[in-house]
Amino acid sequence: MAYFLRRFAHMLFVLWAVATILFFMFRLMPGTPLAAFIDNTTTAEQQAALIAQFGLDKPLGEQYWLFLTNLMQGDLGQSFFFKKPVVEVVMEVFPNSVILTLASLIIAYAFGIVAGAYLAWRRGSWVEGLGIPLVLTTRAAPEFWLGMVLLAFFSFHLGWFPSGGANSSGSDWSSDWQRVTSLDYLSHLFLPAITLAIYLQGLPLLLMRSNMLNVLQEEFITMARMKGLSTWTIVMRHAARNALLPVATAFALGIGGAVGGNVVVETVFSWPGIGRLLVNAVSASDYPLAQGAFLMITAVLVVMNFIADVTYHLLDPRVRIATR
């Protein structure tokens, strides 16, 4: 419990620090943050009114205090471009990012765990000699480039999948649940999810493989072998279970990292997620929206790091006892 509280306080500290850095970054930006709003037709009075409306006439300290108290109440200000509360705009696209992230992570981890265990079992064979360089190559490929190649081949060349977006235009849905479970949505989801999965599977695969190699050297495996169990039973029932724990932690960390890393893949496939929102907001100098989207991505990352640490702590008795 003491550990949990300490770790929780640490999470809040990091969130506060990042929010503060972000606040000052945007305030110290050269030129007025309202540049996107002001054109030749805005009169001096209108400009003053706008500045007052966004609270930019107040001293920096007061602005910062307002920013923090509003943030605490879940108020991220108004988007310049959409003329709507930032929270509303962010929450509209956030589910799409979560679905894309989870879908790709599940594919990546299911494949990575099985393939990693298999590569550990076939250690020293030609499968390993071919597999490891191949995995390293997938980790070295830029995600957006992988997306471009898949898009050119499967969407434009073969015409199997739609080339972008999350839903065909003109479609109408009675509920969000019906929308995201529709065949139309899933066919839009397929290519971006596979692109991300190809990039993400390397980590669980290599992790699973090295854990398996460690576990296979432990005494209970020798014991199982002496009992005359088959290799497959030993690998899958005895070794794999014990090798899974760090992979599970990596999964939680993966959610946090992937939501931020999705930026480029969402852009390639015009997937209406939070990463693409951030890119568009930055391009349009819509700084309250950029700030909000960035904070949201940070929050997911930091919270997932927290969850990963805590579950690791709960699941592994050795860590639990060592830090007691």
Partner 1 sequence: MRWLNTAAAIPRRDPFAFAGLLLYFVFVLIAIFADSLITHDPREILFDANYDLVRNLAPGGDHILGTTFSGRDIYSQLVMGTRGALIVGVTAAVCVVTIGTVLGLISGYFGGLTDTLLMRLADIALGVPFLPFVIVLAAFLNPSQWNVVIGIALLLWPQSARVIRAQVMSLRERAFIEAARVTGAGPWRILFVHIAPNVLSLSFLYASIAVGWAILTEASISFLGFGPSNSVTWGYMLQDAYASQALGRGQYYWFVPPGLCIIAVVVAGFLISRGYEEILFPKLKD
In the complex, the smallest distance separating the C-beta of residue 322 from partner 1, rounded to whole angstroms, is: 17
Three state DSSP letters for the chain:
CHHHHHHHHHHHHHHHHHHHHHHHHHHCCCCCCCCCCCCCCCCHHHHHHHHHHCCCCCCHHHHHHHHHHHHHCCCCCECCCCCCEHHHHHHHHHHHHHHHHHHHHHHHHHHHHHHHHHHHHCCCCHHHHHHHHHHHHHHHCCHHHHHHHHHHHHHHHCCCCCCCCCCCCCCCCCCHHHHHCCHHHHHHHHHHHHHHHHHHCHHHHHHHHHHHHHHCCCHHHHHHHHCCCCHHHHHHHHHHHHHHHHHHHHHHHHHHHHHHHCHHHHHHCCCCCHHHHHHHHHHCCCHHHHHHHHHHHHHHHHHHHHHHHHHHHHHCHHHHHHCC
CB of 272 to partner 1, least distance (A): 16
Smallest separation (angstroms) from partner 1 to the CB of 53: 22
Cβ neighbour number for residue 314 with a 10 Å cutoff = 12
Nearer residue to partner 1 within complex by CB, 185 or 199:
199
Count CB neighbours of 65 within 10 A.
Answer: 12
Nearer to partner 1, 5 or 44 (CB): 5
Question: Does 229 contact partner 1 by CB under 8 A?
Answer: no
Distance in angstroms (rounded) separating the CA atoms of residues 43 and 138: 55
Span interacting with partner 1, options 79-87, 181-189, 212-220, 229-237, rule CB under 8 A: 212-220
How many residues touch partner 1 (CB under 8 A)?
Answer: 56
Q: Which of 116, 254, 275, 288 binds partner 1 (CB under 8 A)?
A: 275
Segment interacting with partner 1, rule: CB under 8 A, options 104-112, 144-152, 174-182, 311-319? 144-152
**From 23-31, 167-175, 186-194, 243-251, span contacting partner 1 (CB under 8 A):** 23-31
User: What contacts 101, CB < 8 A, 6 or more positions away?
Assistant: 196, 255, 258, 259, 262
* Footprint (CB under 8 A) of partner 1, residues 123-142: 133, 136-137, 139-142
Q: Which of 40, 41, 175, 283 binds partner 1 (CB under 8 A)?
A: 283
Mask for 153-192, x = binds partner 1 (CB under 8 A): ---xx-----x-----------------------------
Q: How many CB atoms lie within 10 A of CB 86?
A: 24
Q: Which of 252, 278, 289, 308 binds partner 1 (CB under 8 A)?
A: 278
Residue among 3, 18, 270, 319 that touches partner 1 (CB under 8 A): 18
Select from 1-9, 98-106, 222-230, 295-303 the region that touches partner 1 (CB under 8 A). Answer: 295-303
Side chain identity, residue 48: A
x/- letters, 299..318, toward partner 1 (CB under 8 A):
--xx--x-------------
Among 66, 87, 114, 148, binds partner 1 (CB under 8 A): 148
56 part of the interface to partner 1, by CB under 8 A:
no
Return residues touching partner 1 (CB under 8 A): 10, 13-15, 17-18, 21-22, 25-26, 29-30, 133, 136-137, 139-146, 148-149, 151-152, 156-157, 163, 213-214, 217, 257, 259-261, 263-264, 267-268, 275, 278-279, 282-283, 285, 287, 290, 293-294, 297-298, 301-302, 305
